[in-house]
Every structure is written in structure tokens, then in C-alpha cells.
Amino acid sequence: MLTGLLLAAAVGSVATVAPPTATVLANRTAFNQPCVWFTSTAPDRLAAAASAALERLGWTVASSVGPRFTQEVALRGIAPAGALYVHSHGDHYYDAAAKRRSSGFRVDAGRCENAPTVIAPQITQARTGIAPLTLAFISTCYNGERISKLPAALGIAMQKSGPGVAGPRSFYVSYSGVAWVRAIVRFETAFWRALRRGATSGAAFDAALLSGYSAADLLPEWWGSYSLRPTPPASQPGVPRSV
């Protein structure tokens, strides 16, 4: 009887483990002419840096940068992902269905104005039955704030497990308030470099804090397990989801 229960539990755990795939999304249109007065290579560079680091960590990466980053593509990629990177505009947008504000980000879709958004309830619905992400980096304004609903939608509790403390196998990074691209590039370049060199997620975050960006331009925040090494989760049944 006990054996049967253990086998049943193991089968259940396999069904919820996220696959070793990562989704990388970057909004190019919103950060270039004619939407703004300048031309920037930052979205492509940021997406490339995230993709290279995630691949180095062992993830299979699917990337959508520019107009092909649509709402449909975003939700289809986020639904099964074990790791996620998004660079775009972010905010606490109005959720018409719930008649209150929710959190999310704008897709590219080749549009300067009225670009569609992806908000937390859509992500929650898309990821029903899927385990929490191992690594989520939401490179937008406002989604590092405690009121952001994106961490919960991705299955990540807004709490910190410090160095050496076992915790959930997940790590979430985003920015509070307005985040300026010039600072984002410095911070994220350092973060991904540290991860590629074998740092834990928390140590990579700390290294990025020392990257020389202006604190007036960026306020990074993290939640999850400091000691996490964000490699793809083991697929064997019964493996605990902890650091």
C-alpha cells in the first residue's frame, strides 16, 4: 500500500515539473524610431545576453525579439517555460475582466501606441498545473515592486531565502519604479556574466549591483533563493524542488 502511494506521488510530481525550456522576449519597436526619438540596439543585446547565459546553464532557448513578440507568442512561450526573460515596458495595467489593476508588460507587435499587454491573470491561466519557474527576469519598470502580481503568476513567492538557506527552487528579478535602459544594460550584462561563470542567482544579483550603474536610474529587486544555481530542474520523479 505504501509503495503504491509513493509511486502515485512520484507520477504526480513528474506532471508538474517544468521542462528544460526557456523563453526570451524583447520589445524592439517601443525603444526605437519612430516610437521614440532615438535608435537603440539595447533590446537585441539584452535578449542575446539572456539567451547566451541561459543556454550556457543548460536551457533550450526560444527567442522572440521585435514585431514577432506578440501577445499570442508570449503566452504560448511562457505557458510551458522553466525560465523566462522579458524586456519591455511594464506597469500595473487595468484588468477589464476583474475591474482592477494587475501587473504585466507590453508586447512589441510592431506598434508604437496601444500595444497589447500580457498581464498576470493571463499568465496564471496559461501556466495552470505547471511548476514555478526556476528563473524569471522581468526587465521592465514597476514589476519589482511588492504590489506586482507577476511573481505569483509565475509561481514564485515574494520572500527571500538567504545564502546557505534552503528554499524554493526559483529566483525572480525585476525593477521598482522607472528603470532606464542605460542602467539596465550595465546591470544585466554583469548579472548574466556572473551566472555564466558559475555564481548562484543571489551572488550574480550582488555582482550586478556593483556594475557601476547610477542608482538614480535603476532599483533592482529579487525574490526566491539566494543560493539557487538556475540550471534546468531534474526530470526524475521524486526529486525535491529545493536548492
Domains of the chain: 21-225 (3.40.50)
Banded pLDDT at 17 (limits 50, 70, 90): low
Q: Which residues are CB-neighbours of 128 under 8 A, at least 6 positions away?
A: none
pLDDT tens sequence across 63-85? 999 999 999 999 999 999 999 99
Q: Where are the alpha helices (DSSP H) in the chain?
A: 2-16, 42-57, 71-78, 120-126, 150-153, 181-196, 201-209
Cα separation of 86 and 219, whole Å? 17
What's the residue count for the chain? Answer: 243
C-alpha grid cell, residue 91: 506597469
pLDDT tens sequence across 133-151? 999 999 999 999 999 999 9
Query: Does pLDDT of 37 surpass 50?
Result: yes
pLDDT for residue 233: 83
Q: Which residues are CB-neighbours of 234 under 8 A, at least 6 positions away?
A: 17
